[in-house]
Amino acid sequence: MGPKGSSGRADTVRVVIADDNVLMPVAVGALLEPDADIEVAGVSYEADRILPLVAELQPDLLLLNSEMPGTDGLAFLDRLRDSHPSVAVVLLAETRDANLTSAALARGAKGVIVKGSHPRELAPALRSAARGESPRPKLVELPRAVAEEVSTTRRAAMVRLRRVYDDAAARLETLRAVVDRALFGNDYDWLE
């Protein structure tokens, strides 16, 4: 395995999680907490922080969101392999996608974990990837409740953003009406 983790065990698998959704690393960390041989060494919510964090922490494995904003997960595999060839990579994907899995494995990833599957498969899949095992690992999914919560959180954020946008548009229209009345003396009734 990699270098000795903060737990002091030489056989500890040190993992960095890169996902823009704050909930996903928390959920993965909670799932891995009972496994004393797997340590979440760090988390990045921003694409431009992943490589510096990997360089700093030198983990055994990077668990990378395949749709991380700011980076194409597959293209990022090439950059990571060039700069940190000893770090195993497992992609996190929203859904099962044979094309993504094949492309990821061809670019050096050890596997793809589908969000929403059974939690008992996560730790064994990460251990296997950290050992450098290259047989195509079976797709593993995180608990459906976690995937649904992530989806719900994203929908809620979109609803909030829409409300903020609508509120800003209404305020802008109000301001325009006030300016029209002040500058042009129009009897513009913005409430109609």
Query: Maximum CA pair distance of the chain?
Result: 78
pLDDT given for residue 152 in this prediction: 65
pLDDT given for residue 7 in this prediction: 47
Q: Which residues pair with 64 in a beta bridge?
A: 18, 91
- Percentages (nearest 5) of helix, strand, coil residues in the chain: 50, 15, 35
Residue 2 pLDDT > 50, yes or no? no
Positions of E strands within 9-126: 13-18, 38-44, 61-65, 88-93, 111-114
Claim: this prediction has a pTM higher than 0.75: no
pLDDT given for residue 19 in this prediction: 92
pLDDT given for residue 40 in this prediction: 95
pLDDT band at 23 (very low <50, low <70, confident <90, very high): confident
Residue 135 pLDDT > 50, yes or no? no
Residue 147 pLDDT > 80, yes or no? no
pLDDT given for residue 188 in this prediction: 53
Q: How confident is the model over 109-130, as pLDDT tens digits?
A: 898 888 876 788 888 888 988 9
pLDDT band at 73 (very low <50, low <70, confident <90, very high): low
Distances (CA, A) of 78 to 2, 114, 131, 133, 172: 21, 21, 20, 19, 46
